[in-house]
Amino acid sequence: MLIVVPSETLPGERRVALIPDSIKKLIEMGAEVTVQCGAGELSGFKDEEYRAAGAKLSDDRDQLLASGDIVLRVTKPDPTEVSQLKEDAVHISYLDPYNESELIRGLADQGVRAISMEMIPRTTLAQKMDALSSQANLAGYITVILAARKLDRIFPMMMTPSGTIAPVRVFIIGAGVAGLQAIATAKRLGARVEAFDTRPVVAEQVHSLGAKFVEIDLGETGQTADGYAKQLTEEQLQMQKEGMKQVMARSDVVITTAQVFGRPAPRIVTAEMVKAMKAGSVIVDMAVETGGNVEGSSLNEDVDMDGVTIIGLGNLPSEVCRNASEMYSANLLNLLSEFWDEESKQVQLDDSNEIVQGCLITAAGKIVNQAIANLNQ
């Protein structure tokens, strides 16, 4: 079975789907692997390292895509490249299936078995394959580093003969995977950290990291079966904004991480709330790629609003592309290993398996994931 790794084509994308160490393990399992020349260059993995791991190298992208039994990428393919994939090939990458109907229909029409890494179930068994979580961990770290670079103050308390510098106040909105990592990173840098989430169940995790959990009474909230926050009513959103505004007014840094899977990000920070902050403060909108949590944020731009800087950098994991590639590659290796048949040296996707049922989007000329199929009727 031939596994191919093409270079990423999305502007600004520096990650690579497989690193040499993972390729070595796949070859030991009985797979053949071909990597496009230069695919790992931006992540610091040279062609020589891939060759030493046992991979073949190709500078013919068209032939590479056409020959692969399994095609591994980070980002979704360009729709123009779908027709180059062979029928029954397995294509694994992020696909954004809730918003990319044309791409999904194209993959189905081509007869490709398309797996969406966003749709890996959040279960104990699938945890080692969960790329959303692995990349969100890194994104949470990066948000704090971005804020520290932009802020005109140091994070920790510092006692000197000249006097004592108070620690900065950091407010994290959303205590999912990214938010918890942001809390941990800000604490390690010496900040005083407060955090809010609509799910009271995460308060214990926030406290365990040394942060204060901000309680805002919103009535009935909770989380979905997959662990995501449920969508709030308009009345609840207004109550949330009033409570957060008070915390933001005393904060030097605000990091927003609120996202609703498959939908535009909720707008939870208004211009009025931003203007309540002190001049020189910094906001990092981690959800800017899906519409943004913060009014006035702009993708890949720093926006000044009354002296408050709003950072809207997208594709945050790519900022630490080497580690991000290592973690994503491990997710892919674990996924392939789970369904690898030792006897045939093939990936066998069992339709009855709960992981396959969650992440397999197209197969045999059809959209087989029911939730995505309903969107494309």
* Residues labelled catalytic: 122, 127, 130, 133, 228
Q: Which residues pair with 168 in a beta bridge?
A: none
User: Burial of 211 by CB count in 10 Å (0-12 exposed, 13-18 middle, 19+ buried)?
Assistant: buried
Output the six-digit token pair for 160.
Answer: 């000197």
User: Burial of 361 by CB count in 10 Å (0-12 exposed, 13-18 middle, 19+ buried)?
Assistant: buried
* Neighbouring C-alpha atoms within 13 Å toward the C-beta of 163: 2
Output the six-digit token pair for 287.
Answer: 């959800």
Q: In the chain, what is the greatest distance between 2 CA atoms, to the nearest angstrom?
A: 72
165: amino acid identity, one letter: I
CB 174 within 8 A of CB 182: no
C-alpha distance from residue 293 to each of 288, 319, 362 (Å): 7, 21, 32
Measured distance CA(57)–CA(61) in Å, rounded: 11
Other CB atoms within 10 A of residue 115 CB: 27
Task: State the DSSP code for 10.
Answer: S
146: amino acid identity, one letter: L
At residue 201, the 3 state secondary structure works out as: helix
Q: Where are any strands of DSSP class E within the chain?
A: 2-5, 32-36, 56-58, 70-72, 90-93, 113-116, 158-160, 163-165, 169-173, 192-196, 212-213, 253-256, 282-285, 302-305, 308-311, 340-341, 346-347, 360-363, 366-367
